[in-house]
Chains A and B, each alone.
Chain A
Amino acid sequence: MIYATEIVRLDGLFLVASMDDQNQADVQEMKQQARQILKKLTRTSEPRASLEGKKHTMHYLLNDQLCFIAITERAYPKKLAQTYLADICREFETSYPRTAYLDPHLRPYTYAEFDRYIERSRKTYQDTRATDNLGRLNDELKDVAQVMTKNIEDLLYRGDSLEKMGDMSSRLREDSAKYKRAAVRINWERMLENWGIWAALLLFMGAMIYVWFIR
């Protein structure tokens, strides 16, 4: 089951997004994650990947400046999803001139009408066991032999853990400096505690002697 399909330019501009998926909360959550992934994608990123979430899988296909994203249920065959994306990609790039969709002044969702095609092909890819789809799978198997598969959480929080390490070490350094200062102070206090009375007494005696005998 393919839940959502999106076509996004690598600068973050949405060109097309399917509409028929609004009432599933977890698909929306997946879309949010997809948005974060998008920010990390560049032209040199892995061109095809399937990223697994808890219930859903996000598949993407990079081509030129465009990123084609499909969110499917987790059990949906990865290769079929990639075939679906390749299909969408081919159709989109033949339907619209490259200069048009790369125009920097484009308003978001300019090609919303493409949703109709998405809707249509989504239906043909709906049933994973349909013989038609199996045949298609076999044909294209060699093309999509290498699809990177990762867990979406890993990808999302990979950067995070490094940052966390950095944070931790800098905190450690600050803390140690603090402890050092505290230790010095404690030493002083202890010395005062032990010898302070004697020192004060000595000083007092000295002063007395000075007053009485010398003056």
Chain B
Amino acid sequence: MASPQQPYTDGQPGAGEGQDGTYNDQLAGSAPAAAKKKRAYAGQAYEFGAGGNAALGGQQPGGGQFPAQAAPAAGGYGYPGQQPAQGQPQYGTPQQPQYGDPNAQNQAPQPAYGQPQYGAPQAGYEAPAAGYPTAPQQVQQAGVQGVQQQFSQMTVGGGPQSQQAGAAVPQLRLNPLRPVDISAQGQPFHVSDLDQPPPALILPANSAVTPSPHSNCPPKYIRSTLNAMPATSSLLKKSKLPFALIIQPYATLHDSEDDVPVQYDQVIARCRRCRTYMNPFASFLDHSHRWRCNMCNLTNDVPQSFDWDSVKQQAVDRWQRPELNYAVSEFVAPQEYMVRAPQPLIYLFLLDVSYAGVTSGLLATAARCILESLDRIPNTDRRTRLGFMAVDGSLHYFSIPRDGGESNDAKMLVVSDLDEPFLPTPEDLLVSLTDCRANIETFLGKLQGMFANTQNGSSAMGSALRAGHKLISHVGGKICVLSASLPNIGHGKLEMREDKKVLGTSGESKLLQTQNAFYKSFAVECSKTQVSIDMFLFSSQYQDLASLSNLPRYTGGQTYFYPAWNAARTEDAIKFATEFSDYLSSEIALEAVLRVRTTTGLRPSAFYGNFFNRSSDLCAFPAMPRDQAYVVEIAIDENITKAFACLQAGVLHTTCNGERRIRVITVSIPVTQILAEVYASADQQAIAAYYSHKAVERALSSGLDAARDMVQAKMVELLQTYKKELGGGNMGGGGLQFPANLRALPMLFLGLMKNLGLRKSSQIPTDLRSAALCLLSTLPLPLLIQYIYPRLYSLHDMPDDAGLPNPETGAIVMPPALNLTSANLVPFGLYLIDDGQTQFLWLGRDAVPALINDVFGTEDKNQLKQGKTSVPVLETEMNERVRAVVEKSRDHRGKGCGSIVVPPLYLIREDGEPSLRLWAQTLLVEDRADQGVSGAQFLGMLREKVLS
């Protein structure tokens, strides 16, 4: 039978006739009987006549003649048009599932064709479930009329594809190379370049088995650094570009906000050899009884239940299966994918009750926040369990009885043995949220009072982690550490090692490394027992983030740092409470593993992100958060001869409602032999993200200087390569040529080098640096780009529609972003600078009182509180719009990623507190500051190096 990718472009003689006697026959004109019948339809088609039908009568692919009609219809209709061969028997005669039966075809071939749903565009592709089952009855009424309409649609659907195929077969047109002069004299980078979508993934026509618009992966989930990959490793080497995938398996914190189709029937087709999951790029052959793996070309059997529901005893339509229509889909895993029952969600809170933890208000805020978030913690299967431990110089366990028992009070059990921490009682330390809800609430209410008068300054967090691990290791789960002091006794004790004199020198790199081997070995131990650790750190003094952040790094967790946090400041308290509550509510995946499978010849070669590499290509996540991205570098081992290569990321995980699922994300990337096409399809943001991960690794292993040098050398190398290989003779005027799609790269690299984590400076405390490095290696791509190249909005001269909801979408319209240079800041202006982690409201020196009054409600700017603040709520229109912009700038969902972070807002007066002003100015990446060069200088330097 004709393979589905080429339904009727070439008809495949000998396969088409008996089987799908409708269309191919007609084109070929080989079977007289069938052709006669067909001609009759064609005639009728003329009578009812409209565009598509006429095309059919003319016996050629219709789209060529009627592109205007074909184009809008293609999305909805393309489906049947492409699948006449396989689709027909099932649609038509549900009682006769066998494919090869020509009689079934001849009796009622066309009427069966699923007219009802294809006829109505709105019911077409998006809601496939509605149509098929009802087909037989409606067919009766539809009759001949229906038949001809189907034909018209078939043609319309098929049209654009065959047209494309005809045009594109000899030479596939990839993205064209558009060189521009990126130096200041030419067309330099503008911040709006960062809003451009990545270069399109242009695949040959019909490369997917269904013409679904979702068959290739949207950039939200996977972005490739090269959207046209080189066919050979020598070409890749020659290009000097990296080839890596930025994988973000989840785009939101909650499933309800992100619509990923789920296949519930537990039938999972996988390649026997390479274990690839069925995806839209697989192909069917041999009467659709077998399928060919698009990774390794092995032919596999199609599971019977693809076409036949053995329980209901009826045919099912395989073309509705999500894995054939969507590049991102989920399977409910059958029993073979479980070694034990899916683990319940477990949160163990380790609360710091030392002097610093209590006096900063951390204990009180955390207890209250947990108490108020109990309803938000995912608990649909009512198995969620919570545990609490308090830590100072000794370990305090809390045994919470079940609701409705004799006693409702939690018992505190204190263990002072820190070397061999043990569990004082086997029961009631880890309690069911459902069964003990009331007592947990009582306990949380009282918790703060229990330690109100503590004077204990020591913290045995290492020992507490060991004890906590013992408590939950039999099941696995999340340990959530909230601490405001340096662990200074017991296991993993750390010393105050920061020395102001060392900062900014080569000795600094040692401070960014782990101080105590405990934090690495223990992290690996946790990963093995499915325990994940998250750190919420609040210290105002040195807390050694460099050591502590190792635990989240290898266990799929995250380090959240709130420097000098104090609950007495409302903004601090609100920020932490909001974030922590979102953190508790997010639907994390448990006991997850990620594996990337690729077309033969490719190989995942390096992995970056917060997880543990269990074997050469298996990344293990005791818990997979929804607000992180991972980078997988791909090596080319053999030459790729296909037109496009596929890469598939599979995440096997347990949802927090106890379901075992597999999320499969497939991306197909066209292959090219031409260097220019590689450059023309390179994705600058993905490349920046890749080098951000790489720079963090380099910074941790061999120091900040090495990391910065690597980034800068890479930029020079790319420009040189481009000049040498592709620059050609058009170097007039001494400009700096680079492809338009990579124009932002120099500024992104400059931003990376000037980022808090990598900047050359002797003023940055180690903890802040470590926290920034954690962010640079975990943030999802949109937030990462914003973190290295912050957004600058001018608020005093916003366009009229900015700050107001868009009349169509309802989303707040943002003012146009500006490049990050102080040349864009006028002294009478009001600006918002937002790097995703902090927001600055910049008030110019000469701001007019009217503006200040409209926004802040006071005429005198000296009365404005500088530093952490919030915009007061006023009635004025300007105030509302400013608040809307500030709020919208925090919206992660609009950016296509999830994150719990609520950036605090700082008010900066240009003539006010100098330290605050200097801080805000460090975000102006294109300015000259401290020991960093300005954007123009950087470009000039690059140019010198490239031209010399």
**CB within 8 Å of B: which residues of A?**
12-14, 16-23, 104-105, 107-109, 112-113, 115-116, 119, 123
Contact = CB atoms under 8 A, between A and B. Distances in A.
A19 B435 contact: no
Contact of A109 (B342, B427, B473, B474): B342
Contacts of A105: 264-266, 311
A20 B475 contact: yes
Q: Which of A19, A23, A119, A123 is the most central at the interface, judged by chain B CB atoms within 10 Å of its CB? A: A19
A109 to B, nearest CB: 5
Contact of B340 (A16, A22, A113, A115): A22
A5 B434 CA distance: 21
B432 interface: yes
Nearest to B336: A108
B382 A113 contact: yes
Contact of B311 (A18, A21, A104, A116): A104
A116 B474 contact: no
B927 interface: no
B341 A112 contact: yes
B660 interface: yes
Contact of A107 (B266, B344, B435): B266
B530 to A, nearest CB: 9
B474 A20 contact: yes
A123 B405 CA distance: 14
Given A107-B266, A112-B342, A112-B344, A23 B473 contact: yes
Nearest to B658: A112
A17 B339 CA distance: 11
B166 interface: no
Interface string B428-442: 000010110000000
Interface in B312-371: 332, 334-335, 338, 340-344
A147 B344 CA distance: 34
The 9 closest A-B pairs by CB, nearest first: A17-B341, A108-B335, A22-B474, A23-B474, A112-B658, A104-B311, A113-B382, A113-B381, A109-B341
27 contacts: A14-B341, A17-B340, A19-B341, A19-B344, A19-B475, A20-B475, A22-B340, A22-B475, A23-B474, A104-B311, A107-B660, A108-B334, A108-B660, A109-B338, A109-B341, A109-B658, A109-B660, A112-B341, A112-B381, A112-B658, A113-B382, A113-B658, A115-B341, A116-B382, A116-B383, A116-B432, A116-B435
Contacts of B435: 116
Contacts of A112: 341-342, 344, 381, 383, 658
B659 interface: yes
Contacts of B475: 19-20, 22
Given A22-B475, A23-B473, A115-B383, 10 more contacts: A16-B341, A17-B341, A22-B474, A107-B264, A107-B334, A108-B660, A112-B344, A112-B658, A115-B341, A116-B382
Interface of B: 264-266, 311, 332, 334-335, 338, 340-344, 381-383, 427, 432, 434-435, 473-475, 658-660
A48 B361 CA distance: 59
Nearest to A104: B311
Nearest to A13: B335
B655 to A, nearest CB: 11
The secondary-structure label for the interface of chain B is loop
A14 B336 CA distance: 11
Contacts of B341: 14, 16-19, 109, 112, 115
A45 B755 CA distance: 70
B371 to A, nearest CB: 22
Contacts of A115: 341, 344, 383
B344 A108 contact: no
A21 B474 contact: yes
B347 to A, nearest CB: 15
A18 to B, nearest CB: 8
Contacts of A113: 381-383, 658
Contacts of A13: 335
A109 B266 CA distance: 13
B920 to A, nearest CB: 51
A104 B310 CA distance: 10
Nearest to A108: B335
A18 B341 CA distance: 8
A212 to B, nearest CB: 76
A65 to B, nearest CB: 15
A63 to B, nearest CB: 21
Contacts of B334: 107-108
B658 A116 contact: no
Contacts of B660: 107-109
B287 to A, nearest CB: 27
Contacts of B659: 107
Contacts of B343: 19
Q: Which of A13, A104, A107, A113 is the most central at the interface, judged by chain B CB atoms within 10 Å of its CB? A: A107
Contact of B332 (A19, A107, A116, A123): A107
Nearest to B476: A22
A112 B340 CA distance: 12
Nearest to A16: B341
Contacts of A107: 264, 266, 332, 334, 659-660
Contacts of A21: 474
Contacts of A17: 340-341
A11 B352 CA distance: 50
A108 B432 CA distance: 22
Nearest to B311: A104
A215 B607 CA distance: 95
Nearest to A115: B383
Contacts of B340: 17, 19, 22
B482 to A, nearest CB: 26
Contacts of B381: 112-113
Q: Which of B264, B265, B382 is the most central at the interface, judged by chain A CB atoms within 10 Å of its CB? A: B382
A108 B434 CA distance: 22
A5 to B, nearest CB: 11
A113 B658 CA distance: 9
B699 to A, nearest CB: 38
